[in-house]
Amino acid sequence: MEWDEQVYTCYEALKEVCRVTWQEPALRKLDEAFRYVRSVVGDRQFKTGEYILVHALEVATIIAEEIGLEPDSVITGMLHNVMYADLAKKVAHGEIEEHFGTTVSANLEGMTKINSLGTDTVELHPENYRKLLLALAGDVRVILIKTADRLQVMRHLDLYPEEVRYRLANETSHLYAPLAHRLGLYAINSELQDLCLKYQNFKGYSYVTTRLAETQKERENFVAEFVKPLEKTLRERGYEFSMKARTKSVYSIWNKMQKKKVSFDEVLDLFAIRIILDSDSRNEKTDCWTVYSIVTEQYQANPERMRDWITIPKSNGYESLHATVMGPHGRWVEVQIRTRRMDEVAEKGLAAHWKYKGGKESTSFESWLTGIREILENPELNVVDFIDQFQLDVYKDETFVFTPRGDLKKMPAGSTLLDFAYEIHSHLGDKCVGGMVNGKKVTLRYKLKNGDQVVIDTSNNQKPKMDWLEFVVTSKAISRVKASLNEEKKNLATQGREILIRKFKNWKLELNDDAIRKMLKKYEFKLAADFYGEVASGKIDPLELKALFTEKPGEQDVRQTLGDLVPEKVFHELPAGGNDDYLVIDNHLKNINYKLARCCNPVYGDAIFGFVTIRDGIKIHRTSCPNAQQMKERFPYRIIRARWKETSTPGAFLTTLYISGTDEAGIVSDLSHIIAKDTGARLRSIHINSNRGKFEGILKISVLSLDHLEFLLQKMKKVKGVISVTRGEN
């Protein structure tokens, strides 16, 4: 077909669609737009060989016929290539505004921004994807026009090189198909998904289309048998209606086969029967429910598969009653009941919604777009993750819940209490500690159910945690938690670097790139920020790092070791011997900077050493402690030489004694008397087991010193019936 003939055929098809509903002034403006774009574009072609003007006319036809937008949007579709970079004539926005008005000019500006972004792959150009999404989230009409543009491209994808086909199909499946679904353009969404499958998995696409063709006659016979009694009853009741069978899309069938791991023949809901009522606007709900009762009287319904989107429509305006009933031959069938208006909204989404609402935009969709913009404006956003989550969010069913004031909120199915908190406000989510659902206390992980009334509890001490990402499901919650964790991680990394700078200065070492690379290699970190975070959180020892740059880090005096391991304030308060060889332990234990280790319970007079812990200060152990060998081998740089301070007023030390012997009458009383009266020790606890004339016991006793303990042991061994008394390790 010659260029002129092809162009005029396309334009006449477009005008034929527009004449049905447009007034004469709008049709004259369409003619003017056609002449203008023809003068600018002429017979220029894309690199694919497709005429630019033919593409533009087909996009305008999709906008007019399949989406049903107003004249300005259709004209925008026709003009959207007039600023194509390779054209000889350069068109300014001012010229467009002068000829076609501010709405067309604004729409075209939005389209120009989108078309200027290179988005070859999400992974290579994540920032361009962010800009693309922000541009799309600016004006709903721009999204609709761009969706029409992408649909036309996908219908002619065979013209493109193979590598470009894959990129466009990937971008469409991740972005434009979900947007079409969210806009209520179900027919366009299904076609885009089918076309994506065709180019991403041609084998799967071909298999399903072949099987659908093979089983078409069988489906037609079944539908005729199913609808016959329903048509008869509905006519008898005086309803004006139409009925049609809608076969599930190729992509939906293939997706179900993969997810459920079933064959084509095992996919039960290959099609649905749609009943469309010619109903007065005042009686729409009543008529739908009456027809629902007629259907379920004729065929047995599955109550668990009933879906009511008339009482509370979906966020994109979708209204319908769905019933799954047992049809002839024991076969389940989905029946969709709606009015003519509801069907148009279901087919053309927000565009039809505008028509019936007098041109007003959907507030729920606007609030959704606002939420998307808020997420995208976060500089910490991982766009690759967001795109994947965005796709999942859009295709989920909705759960309807209520705020304490009774406001309805629509959440993706599977949303938790924490998702709800983030949906209300980001700061509310950050501080959420739980809540009340229908008057009962619930945790952050509680999964919302239809009709729940939700109250959020908060705490100023709460902050986002890593495990939250295991159960939040909405993109808003996920992106906010990740952003908060990244901020905390960044602060921790800053603290860690400052610690290293101070330490290296004290060690008279240079913290340069070579030193950092050496430490990252040692601890197997790819990013310095992660390494600094581990230093700040105390998971990496400063002296371990020092050991990387000095030959014998263990050969240093006590005060130097303490200076490396403990905070400066604590270090200055610690008592030490005159020659700095020992940490001197004051047995009154008034200084909280060190504690006696519970694993071995040292007593004044025992041979001891100190061990610097990460969080609990210095622990004092007996040299015979069962853990001593392991500590000295694994952490030699944490070992501190220590001794008791000479004193005339010793304190109290807890120790454990193990005792055994014959079960003599009054032996417990005798032991207690010796401990308290004869030796001046204090019995903290006693546990005795007696069996067949023998006994074993464990005693916890406070003593003043090692000499005091030895004196006590000798006295106890002399008690009649005592065979053995030994000091325990703890």
Higher pLDDT pick, 54 / 133: 54
- The tens digit of pLDDT for each residue in 82-99 reads 877 566 677 777 888 888
Per-residue model confidence (pLDDT) at position 83: 77
Same topology between domain 3-201 and domain 653-727? no
Q: Are 638 and 611 in contact (CB under 8 A)?
A: yes
Euclidean distance between CA atoms 593 and 49, whole angstroms: 81
Question: Strand 331-339 vs strand 321-327: parallel, antiparallel, or unpaired?
Answer: antiparallel
**Where are the chain's structural domains?**
3-201, 211-361, 485-547, 558-644, 653-727
292-297 long-range Cβ contacts below 8 angstroms, 24+ apart = 292/321, 292/323, 292/337, 294/230, 294/233, 294/234, 294/237, 295/230, 295/323, 295/325, 295/335, 295/337, 296/323, 296/325
Looking at the predicted structure, is the pLDDT value of residue 421 above 90? yes
Higher pLDDT pick, 570 / 21: 21
Euclidean distance between CA atoms 627 and 730, whole angstroms: 11
- The tens digit of pLDDT for each residue in 276-289 reads 999 988 899 999 99
Highest mean pLDDT: which range of 340-354, 526-540, 567-581, 691-705? 691-705
Looking at the predicted structure, is the pLDDT value of residue 366 above 80? no
Higher pLDDT pick, 177 / 338: 338
Q: Indicate the average pLDDT of the chain.
A: 80
- The tens digit of pLDDT for each residue in 443-479 reads 999 999 887 889 999 999 898 988 898 899 887 888 8
Please give the CATH architecture assigned to the domain spanning 3-201. Orthogonal Bundle (1.10)
Of the candidates 177, 206, 173, 201, the residue with the CA atom closest to the CA atom of residue 189: 177
Per-residue model confidence (pLDDT) at position 368: 52
Q: Which stretch of 105-109, 316-320, 490-494, 544-548 has the lowest confidence by average pLDDT?
A: 544-548
Q: How confident is the model at residue 318 (pLDDT cuts 50, 70, 90)?
A: confident
Averaged pLDDT for residues 412-424: 90
Highest mean pLDDT: which range of 56-65, 316-325, 644-653? 56-65
Looking at the predicted structure, is the pLDDT value of residue 534 above 70? yes
In eight-state DSSP terms, residue 468 is G
- The tens digit of pLDDT for each residue in 113-128 reads 666 554 444 444 445 5
Per-residue model confidence (pLDDT) at position 122: 42
pTM metric for this prediction: 0.56
Averaged pLDDT for residues 317-334: 88
Q: How confident is the model at residue 554 (pLDDT cuts 50, 70, 90)?
A: very low
Euclidean distance between CA atoms 691 and 286, whole angstroms: 83
Question: Strand 271-277 vs strand 331-339: parallel, antiparallel, or unpaired?
Answer: parallel
Euclidean distance between CA atoms 583 and 565, whole angstroms: 14
Averaged pLDDT for residues 580-596: 59
**Token pair recorded at residue 134:** 């922000």
Per-residue model confidence (pLDDT) at position 565: 52
- The tens digit of pLDDT for each residue in 145-181 reads 888 999 999 999 999 998 889 888 988 887 788 878 7
Per-residue model confidence (pLDDT) at position 396: 59
Averaged pLDDT for residues 696-700: 88
- E-state strands within 261-330: 271-277, 300-301, 307-308, 321-327
**Token pair recorded at residue 171:** 């971008």
Name residue, tokens 């890593």: 466
**Token pair recorded at residue 386:** 């967001």
Range 211-361 classified under CATH 3.40.50.720: no
Q: Are 682 and 652 in contact (CB under 8 A)?
A: yes
**Domain 653-727 sits in which CATH superfamily?**
ACT domain (3.30.70.260)
3-state secondary structure 244-266: EEEECCHHHHHHHHHHHCCCHHH
- The tens digit of pLDDT for each residue in 499-533 reads 888 888 888 888 888 888 888 888 888 888 888 88
